[in-house]
Every structure is written in structure tokens, then in C-alpha cells.
Amino acid sequence: RSFASQTDGEARVAQVLREKFPGASAIKVVDISGGCGAMYEIHIESEEFRDKRPVQQHRMVNQALSEEIKTMHGLRIFTSTPKP
């Protein structure tokens, strides 16, 4: 899906993630609720996750999105570090 067809919610969540993880090499946000903004799938690749367990990485994302999460029903988070 092209950036132009991104929903307002996807754009908002992606913007928050770009601000909180300025060193991220990849951020992808997809509304998986059919467009109503209730559930998102997030893929984020950042050097900040290196040497952290997945639960710590997900906690970082949850913390970054603490305000946005209040209006969501669910969130799927996929984190990774850039390959050397």
C-alpha cells in the first residue's frame, strides 16, 4: 500500500513512532481493524532494540504509544534490529 493511501490513524501512529524512535531504519503501521482505527499492526526496526529481550522492546513501543493505545482495542507489535 502506498503512503498516500495510509489512513489518518496509521499516519498518526507512524509519526509518533518516528518521533520516539528517531534512529529507526524501518517503521510500518497497518490498520488491521478494517479502517476504524481500533487495531494496528506495527513493524519497527531500530538499533535501540539491540541487546534487549522482545518483551523489553515491546514495552518500549507500548510506552511510546501510551496515549494512542487508550483508544485502541488491540495492537500487534513486531520489533527487530537492523542486520549488520
What are the extents of the domains in the chain? Answer: 8-80
> So what's the pLDDT on residue 36?
83
> So what's the pLDDT on residue 37?
81
Does residue 17 contact residue 45 with C-beta atoms inside 8 Å?
no
Its pTM stands at 0.87
Architecture of domain 8-80: 2-Layer Sandwich (3.30)
> So what's the pLDDT on residue 2?
44
10-residue mean pLDDT profile of the chain (84 residues): values are: 69 96 95 87 96 97 94 94 89
> So what's the pLDDT on residue 1?
43
> So what's the pLDDT on residue 84?
80
Burial class of residue 49 in the structure, from the number of CB atoms within 10 Å of its CB (0-12 exposed, 13-18 middle, 19+ buried): buried
d(CA 77, CA 30): 11
